Amino acid sequence: MLLTLVSFIVVLGVLIFIHEFGHYITAKKSGIMVSEFALGFGPKLIYKKVGETLYSIRAIPLGGFCNMVGEFPADESMPEEEREVYEKAKNDGRLFTQKSPLKKLAVILMGPVMNFLLAVVIFILTFALFGVPTSTDSAAILGEVIPEQPAAEAGLQPGDKILAINQEKVDTWQEMASLIRANEGSEIVVEYQRNGSVNTVSITPVSSPDSEGGVIGIYPKLVRENVSIFRSLVLGFQQTFMIVELTIMGFVQMIAQRSAEDIGGPVMIASIIGQAARVGIVNLLNWTAIISINLGIINLLPFPALDGGRILFIILEIIRGKEVDPKIESYIHMLGFAILIMLMIFIVYRDLMRSFF
């Protein structure tokens, strides 16, 4: 649980920081005043004002924001201090709304773009440092043990060498897998070697929709081939484009079938990250890249309050030759945000019911 929690906070923190930094640095370069750059929501835990910008870490690590002055119109309820900052930015021509549509588009678009670039960098580093998987080892040695599956619950770990199942000697992965598949629902005695010592453990293989017969949640060792840094660069971009394509196809299929079964929230993400961390660093890095890509795509959806919704209004401004009434746009984004919060509450509730009940 501790590993899951720490991994979740670190990974989510990195993803949010990269996303918001994309907005922040582009806004700064565009001459827009940024009043606050925050990781998380809720009460401030750590904060420091440097120049005109307040940098803060907040109590709830489920998001973040880059508060650009003028992103929302001033109203009567605005505190005096904020109004002074607003008026100063307005007089200096540094409000978000005072910038050209192309500059505003670049600022909003750069958040999701940074998520895609992060995925590219992670994949490049993974290929450069750990090589490219080319095949699986034929030996009966565990490469991955899936958390919360029978093998993991019985205490088996990556690197364990399986010697026998029900006292029947096994030399290859195929021999071991055949015996496991043949004993679906029946307890088997697994003899394995770890660090020179031989141990036995009882495991009951379970059924799986992806396999005929029983499974216990294990994968063979991957054989990796070292590649050059140039080849890693090419493969990093290719891997990112492939996952972007598969993710978009998954969204389209989900909408076409009107199915929300695969949608998950923070609880599901935390579970995935925790499992990946327990399997190993390569698995954790790969899942971080995949989640970053998903975050980038979701933020580009043309829904109010998301980056895609803001981009839609900027495109309308370009087409019409004048911006949409800022107050109307603000109300639409507020409504979209309220809908997103209700949707998130529902998703978290469903995640909890699915995980614990």
CATH label of the domain that carries residue 139: 2.30.42.10
Tokens standing for 340?
């997103």
Region for 282 from its dihedrals, namely left if φ exceeds 0, alpha if ψ lies in -120 to 50, beta otherwise:
alpha
Contact between 279 and 144 under an 8 Å Cβ cutoff? The reply is yes
Do both 216 and 293 map to the same domain?
A: no
**Residue 128 pLDDT:** 94
> How many DSSP H helices and E strands does the chain contain?
10, 12
Do both 242 and 331 map to the same domain?
A: yes
**Residue 261 pLDDT:** 60
Position 2, amino acid: L
Q: Is residue 69 part of a domain?
A: no
Position 16, amino acid: I
Do both 216 and 268 map to the same domain?
A: no
Q: Is residue 16 part of a domain?
A: no
Do both 205 and 278 map to the same domain?
A: no
Q: Is residue 58 part of a domain?
A: no
**Residue 343 pLDDT:** 83
SS3 119: helix
- Phi and psi of 66, rounded to 5°? -120, 105
Do both 236 and 120 map to the same domain?
A: yes
243, 263, 277: which is closest to 8 by C-alpha? 277
Q: Is residue 106 part of a domain?
A: no
Instruction: State the catalytic residues.
Output: 20
**Residue 258 pLDDT:** 65
Do both 157 and 201 map to the same domain?
A: yes
| pLDDT under 50: residue ranges of the chain | none
Please report, to the nearest 10 degrees, the dihedral formed by the alpha carbons of residues 55, 58, 63, 66 taken in order. Answer: -20
Domain boundary residue among 157, 191, 224?
224
**Residue 259 pLDDT:** 60
**Residue 75 pLDDT:** 74
Do both 126 and 260 map to the same domain?
A: yes
Do both 203 and 154 map to the same domain?
A: yes
d(CA 200, CA 194): 11
d(CA 293, CA 247): 8
Strands 161-165 and 168-169: antiparallel
Residue owning tokens 């081939």: 225
For the chain, what is the radius of gyration of the CA atoms?
A: 25
Q: Is residue 126 part of a domain?
A: yes
Do both 262 and 121 map to the same domain?
A: yes
What domain range includes position 333? 115-131+228-357
Q: Is residue 184 part of a domain?
A: yes
**Residue 262 pLDDT:** 59
Q: What is the pTM for the complete model shown?
A: 0.81
Residue owning tokens 């490219």: 132
Domain boundary residue among 177, 192, 224?
224
Q: Is the dihedral of CA 68, 74, 78, 81 positive or negative?
A: positive
Q: Is residue 175 part of a domain?
A: yes
d(CA 74, CA 82): 9
How does DSSP classify residue 239? H
Do both 166 and 210 map to the same domain?
A: yes
Tokens standing for 37?
């750059």
d(CA 69, CA 32): 7
Do both 337 and 234 map to the same domain?
A: yes
Number of structural domains found in the chain: 2
Estimate to the nearest angstrom the gap between the alpha carbon of 54 and the chain centroid. Answer: 26
Do both 233 and 350 map to the same domain?
A: yes
What stretches of the chain adopt beta strand conformation (E)? 34-50, 53-68, 132-136, 142-145, 161-165, 168-169, 188-194, 197-203, 206-208, 211-215, 218-220, 222-225
Please write the tens of the pLDDT for every residue from 19-66: 999 999 999 999 999 999 999 888 999 999 998 999 999 988 878 889
Q: Is residue 202 part of a domain?
A: yes
Domain boundary residue among 224, 239, 262?
224
Neighbours of 200 (CB within 10 A): 11
The C-alpha angle 247, 249, 251, rounded to 5 degrees, equals: 70
d(CA 245, CA 35): 36
SS3 99: coil
